[in-house]
């Protein structure tokens, strides 16, 4: 009896062992061997949507035609995890060859530590590349530059606009979205009219889980008193006091808009993604802010003709035009491993990044429904039916990018951002006064920069 | 469920517990139905489903769309295959090592035994997410980056402690006479383990295998930082990679979740009796 | 077999090490070594970008910083709260469910048993995502509350409510596991004790509380160990649902360590993150050692 039991169990254990060995062998043989003679470019990014993916793969194919023996491996992750992935790799002396990064402190620190290539000398020496990067001036400098040194290339734009339903506005007598806040045809007047007609107002997902939405709205409004957002940038870096009048005015304007009902009732509870987008799509709002060109694919093609695009209105007709802009695709070239520090490797990476900035590549972005940073490349009919309906709207957005000033999309000090965004929420809900908030922000800013507000 | 005495009579507490049982069942099913409902809704509806979870328009092409979405990133069959290979290899490795070391703890005495035991216990309390940078540096030092072993070996290490605890307890509970009889018969310790002890340990082994399988299949953080080659992407990583910047197509994500969870769920449904009874018999001794 | 110092005995002792060596080797390479590295790192200041050799040593400054850091206190509090509450609630629910299935033997008991266990099979990320969407504004729960004219709590956006929601989600997912442990224990109970209690006229509640529960103390001990260790290590669920927010209201030791190291809004200090991890691991180790007296196993 015992031996039979033992036999059966021996057989099954053997089966398990064999399975294990088989798996392990599969593990061995199917493990990737990095390219030996030919070069393999390891790409890591976080825009995996079909249109971005189609554009990228197309560009890789084109590059391979002119650079024989080059292969690409593409890895996608999410914006949440990209910093973790790259940071862990760099900490261990490893890095992808090209990475799509999020604008923020991590990039700046990478550059300060000399881990990514300084692109300035190469771009400056290349007149053609320079001519292809004229659109970069629309992007807040700290997203791709440290001082005057460029560490990231910009490939597409991600400015933030208002989408609105044309018929909702038409029902109360507006043919386009107001360009001013005050005045007989301004945002406040529109809001009053919409409410009287029983129509919903503007979706704005201010839920504190998406803190940066307070950023967008606040800095856009604050720029009315601070052209170009210069003082805001300085305050973020501890060089200017947060208690100054421009910020008081900005916050008070934000609060007055909120109290007037410009933002729809659930603004404080709703999230940027997906709440404001879906509310707008379901006609629970007549407009939504801030949305960007990548929101287009969120709605059925039939909606495209009914949607209009606008910048956020300014206070009065004489206030400075602003645009909350950012980039949507930016790339860095890590110089972490010894292979990545050779000039031949770097030449190859630079060639690829330059190609991504070429008019042809930018045209391909347009064809895939993404806003190119070289906006002049957005011409011609869009042949892909998935994006054709949205092309006119994208064109409108591109036209709107001819604003005079750009305002920073991000704040970089963690304590400052946290204090500002959480505090704004409390101000809007009436639990905190403007002056109290600004003092809290100033104190938080001091945590980020001990010399604040008089840093050099 | 092999108790042979009759069911207890229903009284007030009985009614209460029956309500709880039914209520809990509904509570457990509801989110699952929700995911299914999201996977057959349009984009807008997926984020606005009513309380009874039935969307106004049922669409089926989310599955096809999700499948091709994944195909552009990492195809679903590849994800499943990679997870299967890594999980199976790690299970075999962990079980082999755990069996050997538990047998040693349970039946042998050697200097330093306590120290080694506490060392293994340390593994139980080391969580993966806080060890990412050290793990990466370690794996890189051993030259394993880019291979499947970069995941499999750490998984084995993290998987060792609990099976070791369970099996050590189990082996210790076996009657001493069993070991002594084998010793008297002149059977070597290894043969005793292989021929006599292991067959008896099936329930405990099953418990460990199930526990490890779930742990390895669903592991995310280590996979995220260690997998450099997209061809080796595992399921949790693959799911994460389709949540892009700015737009989260929940209806597609839900469809992807259903497709990638389906193998495990089907396995579970087919083998649930063995699963659960294996767990039950193996987890607790008397 | 002769014990003592005979050649055979020495050889036997030596070969014992062969059983232990493979496990020890893997363990040493992939857990002990990284842990040692983490301890070493916790004594340094490093942002991960500059070279490791240039990272300055700061002694115990990171630990001092942790003890004075209000977010660390919050994370510690949240971790303990989560562990204690979810352990107790899970064990209670698990026990009552197990007793119901075992004692009352309802119809479909087998199906119910599988159903109760089922959520443990799903990935924590999937569960977190599902509940996050369920509780999202405009989602089904929202709709149900609105239909019932009830106020809608800000589930994941309220600093006071968020941790309870996370405790709930964890309970939802893992109660079935503990239930299986209890069921296993109940199935093995001696029938004569049951019969005796029943003849004495014990109602089901008395049965459960006074007869069965005491006899399953060892299951409770095991469940306690597993739940506490697991609770302390909770990461994926929280990360996917709230990222530790809002404003660190759902931060635990694990998520805080991650946040310090990798968040775009965090300081990016790997040394500090390592010190938090080391504190967490040591606390857990001490608990495991004392609470379970696992030493009895060797």
* Cβ(A171)–Cβ(A396) below 8 Å: no
**A133 shares a domain with A49:** yes
DSSP element (H, E) containing A62: helix A50-66
**A435 shares a domain with A295:** yes
Asked if C117's CB is within 8 angstroms of B217's CB, the reply is no
**Quick one: fold of C69-297?**
MetI-like fold (1.10.3720)
**A438 shares a domain with A292:** yes
**A138 shares a domain with A49:** yes
**A169 shares a domain with A84:** no
DSSP state of C151: -
Chain C contact for B47, CB < 8 A?
Answer: yes
**A45 shares a domain with A72:** yes
All partners of chain B with 3 or more CB pairs under 8 angstroms: A, C
Token pair for A435 = 């002056």
Please provide residue A319's backbone torsions phi and psi, each rounded to the nearest 5 degrees. Answer: -70, 155
- Tens digit of pLDDT at every position of chain C (298 positions): 445 567 777 777 777 888 888 998 999 899 989 999 999 999 999 988 888 888 899 989 999 999 999 899 999 999 999 999 999 999 999 999 999 898 888 888 888 888 998 898 888 888 988 998 898 877 889 888 988 888 888 888 788 899 999 999 999 999 998 898 888 888 878 888 778 877 887 777 888 888 888 888 878 887 887 888 788 778 888 888 887 777 788 999 989 998 888 887 778 889 999 999 999 988 888 887 776 554 455 4
What is the structure's pLDDT at A452? 87
Calculate how close chain A gets to B148, using CA atoms only, in Å.
Answer: 6
CA distance A378 to A395: 7
**A183 shares a domain with A60:** no
**A417 shares a domain with A330:** no
Chain B contact for A9, CB < 8 A?
Answer: yes
Chain B contact for A54, CB < 8 A?
Answer: yes
What is the structure's pLDDT at B177? 83
The CATH number of the domain holding residue A175 is: 3.40.190.10
What is the structure's pLDDT at A124? 95
**A353 shares a domain with A422:** no
B interface test, pick of C1, C18, C20, C50 with most B CB neighbours within 10 Å? C20
Cβ partners under 8 Å of residue B107, min gap 6: B171, B179, B189
Distance, CA of A157 to chain centre? 8
Calculate how close chain A gets to C206, using CA atoms only, in Å.
Answer: 43
DSSP-based helix, strand, coil % in chain A, nearest 5:
50, 10, 35
Residue ranges of domains in chain C? 69-297
**A217 shares a domain with A307:** yes
Report the chain C residue with the minimal C-alpha distance to residue A266. C137
ipTM: 0.84
Structural domain count, chain A: 2
pTM for the predicted model, two decimal places: 0.83
**A200 shares a domain with A116:** no
Chain C contact for B250, CB < 8 A?
Answer: yes
Chain B contact for C17, CB < 8 A?
Answer: yes
Domain residues for A248? 161-325+406-448
- Tens digit of pLDDT at every position of chain A (456 positions): 344 444 444 454 455 555 555 555 555 444 444 433 468 999 999 888 888 899 999 999 999 999 999 999 999 888 878 888 898 899 888 899 999 988 877 888 899 999 999 999 999 999 999 999 998 988 888 889 998 999 999 999 888 889 999 999 999 999 999 999 999 999 999 999 999 999 999 999 887 555 577 888 898 899 999 988 889 888 988 999 999 999 999 999 999 999 999 999 888 877 777 778 888 988 999 999 888 766 666 677 888 899 999 999 999 999 988 887 777 889 999 999 999 999 999 999 999 999 999 999 999 999 998 999 998 999 899 988 888 888 998 899 888 887 777 777 666 666 788 788 888 989 998 999 999 999 999 999 998 888 988 888
Report the chain A residue with the minimal C-alpha distance to residue B68. A50
Of A23, A91, A277, the CB nearest to B137: A91
CA distance C275 to C264: 20
- In a domain, residue A386? The reply is no
Cβ partners under 8 Å of residue C24, min gap 6: B101, B116, B119
Asked if A298's CB is within 8 angstroms of B43's CB, the reply is yes
Q: Dump the DSSP string for B203-257.
A: HHHHHHHHHHHHHHHT--HHHHHH--SGGG--HHHHHHHTS-SS---HHHHHHHH
Report the chain A residue with the minimal C-alpha distance to residue C271. A91
Please provide residue C107's backbone torsions phi and psi, each rounded to the nearest 5 degrees. Answer: -65, 155
What is the structure's pLDDT at B245? 54
CB-based burial, A103-137: b 16+ in 10 Å, e otherwise: bbbbbbbbbebebbbebeebbeeeeebeebbebbe
What is the structure's pLDDT at C279? 93
- In a domain, residue A31? The reply is no
Token pair for C228 = 């506490």
Interfacial B residues in 238-267 facing A (CB < 8 Å): 240-248, 250
Distances (CA, A) of C48 to A88, A94, A102, A110, C29: 7, 11, 17, 9, 22
CA distance C265 to A136: 25
Contacts of C270 in chain A (CB under 8 A): 91
Contacts of A274 in chain B (CB under 8 A): 47, 248, 250
Of B3, B50, B96, the CB nearest to C102: B3
From B212, B201, B200, B211, select the one nearest B276 (Cα to Cα): B211
Please provide residue B75's backbone torsions phi and psi, each rounded to the nearest 5 degrees. Answer: -60, 150
- In a domain, residue A7? The reply is no
Asked if B221's CB is within 8 angstroms of C125's CB, the reply is no
Calculate how close chain A gets to B59, using CA atoms only, in Å.
Answer: 14
Chain B contact for C174, CB < 8 A?
Answer: no
**Domains with residue ranges and CATH for chain B:** 12-59 (no CATH), 68-283 (1.10.3720.10)
Average pLDDT, chain B: 83
Distances (CA, A) of B28 to B22, C116, C156, C166: 10, 7, 20, 16
């Amino acid at each position: 009896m015992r031996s039979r039991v033992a036999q059966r169990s021996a057989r099954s254990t053997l089966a398990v062992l064999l399975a294990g060995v088989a798996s392990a062998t599969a593990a061995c043989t199917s493990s990737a061997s990095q390219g030996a003679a030919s070069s393999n470019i390891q790409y890591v990014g976080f825009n995996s949507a079909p249109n971005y993916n189609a554009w990228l793969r197309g560009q890789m194919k084109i590059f391979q035609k002119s650079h024989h023996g080059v292969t690409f491996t593409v890895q996608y992750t999410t914006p949440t995890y990209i910093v973790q992935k790259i940071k862990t790799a760099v900490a261990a002396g490893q890095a992808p060859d090209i990475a799509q990064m999020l604008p923020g402190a991590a990039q700046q620190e990478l550059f300060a530590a000399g881990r990514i290539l300084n692109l300035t000398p190469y771009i400056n020496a290349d007149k053609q590349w320079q001519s292809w990067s004229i659109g970069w001036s629309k992007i807040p400098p700290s997203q791709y530059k440290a001082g005057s040194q460029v560490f990231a290339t910009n490939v597409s734009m991600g400015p933030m606009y208002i989408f609105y339903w044309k018929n909702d506005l038409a029902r109360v007598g507006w043919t386009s979205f107001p360009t001013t806040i005050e005045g007989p045809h301004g945002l406040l007047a529109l809001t009053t009219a919409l409410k009287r007609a029983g129509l919903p107002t503007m979706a704005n997902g201010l839920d504190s889980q998406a803190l940066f939405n307070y950023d967008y709205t606040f800095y856009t409004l604050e720029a009315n008193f601070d052209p170009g957002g210069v003082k805001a940038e300085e305050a973020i870096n501890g060089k200017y006091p947060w208690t100054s009048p421009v910020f008081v005015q900005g916050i008070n304007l934000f609060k007055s808009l909120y109290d007037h009902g410009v933002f729809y009732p659930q603004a404080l509870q709703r999230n940027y993604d997906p709440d404001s987008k879906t509310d707008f799509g379901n006609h629970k709002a007549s407009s939504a802010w801030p949305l960007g060109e990548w929101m287009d694919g969120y709605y059925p093609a039939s909606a495209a003709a009914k949607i209009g695009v606008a910048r956020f209105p300014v206070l009065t007709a004489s206030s400075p035009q602003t645009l909350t802009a950012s980039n949507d695709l930016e790339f860095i070239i890590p110089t972490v491993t010894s292979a990545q520090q050779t000039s031949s490797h770097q030449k190859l990476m630079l060639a690829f990044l330059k190609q991504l900035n070429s008019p042809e590549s930018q045209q391909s972005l347009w064809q895939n429904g993404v806003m190119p940073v070289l906006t002049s490349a957005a011409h011609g009919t869009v042949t892909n039916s998935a994006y054709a309906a949205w092309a006119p709207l994208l064109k409108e957005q591109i036209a709107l990018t001819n604003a005079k000033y750009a305002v920073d999309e991000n704040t970089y000090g963690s304590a400052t951002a946290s204090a500002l965004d959480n505090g704004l929420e409390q101000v809007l809900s009436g639990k905190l006064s403007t002056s109290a908030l600004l003092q809290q922000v100033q104190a938080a800013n001091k945590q980020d920069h001990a010399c604040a507000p008089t840093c050099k | 469920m092999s108790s042979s005495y009759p069911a207890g009579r229903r009284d007030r507490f009985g009614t209460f517990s029956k309500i709880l049982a039914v209520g809990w069942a509904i509570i457990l099913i509801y989110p699952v139905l929700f995911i299914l409902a999201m996977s057959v809704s349009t984009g807008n509806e997926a984020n606005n489903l009513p309380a009874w979870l039935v969307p106004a328009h049922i669409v089926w092409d989310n599955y096809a769309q999700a499948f091709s979405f994944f195909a552009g990133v990492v195809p679903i069959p590849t994800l499943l295959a990679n997870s299967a290979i890594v999980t199976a290899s790690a299970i075999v490795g962990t079980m082999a090592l755990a069996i050997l070391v538990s047998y040693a703890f349970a039946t042998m005495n050697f200097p330093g035994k306590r120290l080694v035991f506490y060392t293994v216990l340390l593994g139980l309390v080391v969580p993966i997410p806080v060890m990412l940078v050290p793990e990466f540096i370690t794996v890189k030092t051993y030259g394993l980056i880019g291979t499947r072993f970069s995941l499999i070996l750490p998984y084995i290490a993290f998987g060792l402690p609990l099976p070791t605890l369970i099996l050590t307890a189990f082996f210790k509970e076996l009657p001493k006479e069993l070991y002594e009889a084998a010793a008297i018969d002149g059977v070597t310790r290894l043969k005793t383990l292989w021929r006599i002890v292991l067959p008896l340990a099936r329930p405990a082994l099953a418990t460990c295998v199930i526990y490890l399988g779930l742990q390895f299949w669903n592991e995310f953080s280590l996979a995220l930082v260690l997998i450099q080659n997209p061809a080796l992407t595992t399921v949790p990583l693959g799911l994460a990679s389709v949540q892009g910047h700015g737009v989260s197509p929940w209806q597609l994500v839900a469809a992807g979740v259903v497709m990638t969870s389906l193998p495990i769920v089907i396995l579970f449904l087919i083998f649930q009796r063995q699963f659960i009874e294996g767990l039950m018999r193996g987890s607790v001794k008397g | 077999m002769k014990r003592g110092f005979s050649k055979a005995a020495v050889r036997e002792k030596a070969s014992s090490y062969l059983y232990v060596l493979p496990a020890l080797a893997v363990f040493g390479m992939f857990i002990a070594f990284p842990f040692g590295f983490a301890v070493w790192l916790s004594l340094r200041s490093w942002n991960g970008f500059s070279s490791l050799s240039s990272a300055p040593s700061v002694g115990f400054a990171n630990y001092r910083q942790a003890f004075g850091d209000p977010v660390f206190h919050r994370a510690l509090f949240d971790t303990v709260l989560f562990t204690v509450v979810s352990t107790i609630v899970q064990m209670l629910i698990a026990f009552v469910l197990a007793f119901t299935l075992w004692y009352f033997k309802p119809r479909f008991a087998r199906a119910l048993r599988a159903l109760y266990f089922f959520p443990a099979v799903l990935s924590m990320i999937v569960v977190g995502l599902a509940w996050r969407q369920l509780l999202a504004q405009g989602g089904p729960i929202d709709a149900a509350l609105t239909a019932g004219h009830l106020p809608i709590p800000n589930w994941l956006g309220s600093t006071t409510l968020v941790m309870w929601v996370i405790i709930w989600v964890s309970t939802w997912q893992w109660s079935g596991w503990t239930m299986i442990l209890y069921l296993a224990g109940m199935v093995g109970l001696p029938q004569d004790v049951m019969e005796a209690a029943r003849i004495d006229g014990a109602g089901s509640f008395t049965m459960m509380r006074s007869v069965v529960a005491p006899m399953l103390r060892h299951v409770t001990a095991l469940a306690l160990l597993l739940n506490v260790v697991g609770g302390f290590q909770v990461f994926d669920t929280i990360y996917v649902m709230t990222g530790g927010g809002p404003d660190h209201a759902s931060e635990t030791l694990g998520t805080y360590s991650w946040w310090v190291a990798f968040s775009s809004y965090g300081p990016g200090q790997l040394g500090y993150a390592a010190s938090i991890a080391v504190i967490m691991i040591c606390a857990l180790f001490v608990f495991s050692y004392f609470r379970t007296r696992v030493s009895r196993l060797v």
